[in-house]
Amino acid sequence: MYHSPALLKESVDGLNIKPGGVYVDVTYGGGGHAQEILKRLKGGRLIAFDQDEDAWENKIDDDRLTLVNSNFRYLKNFLKFHRAIPVDGIIADLGVSSHQFDVAERGFSTRFDAPLDMRMNRNQKQTAAGILNEYTVQQLSVMFRQYGELSNSNLLANKIAAYRKGKQIITSSDLKESISGLIDKRNEDKYLAKVFQALRIETNNELDALKEFLMQSLAVLKKSGRLVVISYHSLEDRLVKNFMRAGNFEGIVEKDFYGNTNAPFELICRKPIIPEESEILKNKRARSAKLRIAQKI
């Protein structure tokens, strides 16, 4: 299977679908959410985005579906082009698909000895290997600290810089070899996961893209439209939580002269929805999923 969506029913239920409405799936992937949305539409419309061309092999044959081969940071432009503004609901399933993790040559997984590619859009030039070989020590340190939340980011960056003086870092085994002295064998998988996460976020500029998408979602949603987001790590979830709560990424709720709050959304669920144990047993990648749902005021 290309991808098994986490919290599938809960997230699509969260859209509160109107049969004739217009909906957007900004992370099409294997088409799991799209298929469920289309089941609930009667004459409505679905616009789906995915920057990974592999996802196009999963295109559902349905006249109500329009697929856009683009990053969701260009949401507003493409919805305007397709005359789909305003929309009734938007869903985003963030992170990496099972397909991307499982195809070795994509370079997303620590399990394989493969080239460190990590590009979600393979038309872009920058790869994870390029970052490791070209960034300064300071740039690497900041990246690992901010996106991997690694406390020894300076030491990690210096280890990589020292290694690449003798040999370029091209594959995952090169990277592991360059930092082998830093890794406690008891926590090796967890540590490497954070290193790979930082590289993936930087390679794809993921957090800036997420911020742009969230700001545009507010602009294209109609009143009472729903925003549904599934995130998989704290950096994503913090941005989504703060934006839904306050309309900004600091989470500071602004008030008018009379003390009334100016929050743009009503939270449908105060706390994130997480998978049941039964779902995690069937789909281990669902274990870190957090679902948040908000409605535009």
Summarize pLDDT for 18-35 with one digit per residue, the tens: 999 999 999 999 999 999
| Top-level class of domain 8-98+206-296 | alpha beta
Q: What's the predicted TM-score (pTM) here?
A: 0.93
In the chain, where are the structural domains located? 8-98+206-296, 105-204
Among the four given CATH numbers 2.40.30.10, 1.10.150.170, 3.40.50.300, 1.20.1440.230, the one describing domain 105-204: 1.10.150.170
Calculate the average pLDDT of the chain: 94
- By residue count, the chain amounts to 297
Summarize pLDDT for 28-66 with one digit per residue, the tens: 999 999 999 999 999 999 999 999 888 888 899 999 999
Write down the H helix ranges in the chain. 8-14, 32-40, 75-81, 98-102, 128-134, 137-148, 153-164, 172-178, 188-204, 206-220, 234-246, 277-282
Summarize pLDDT for 70-125 with one digit per residue, the tens: 999 999 999 999 999 999 999 999 988 777 777 788 888 888 999 999 999 989 99
- Distances in Å between the Cα of 55 and the Cα atoms of 99, 106, 152 are 9, 14, 37
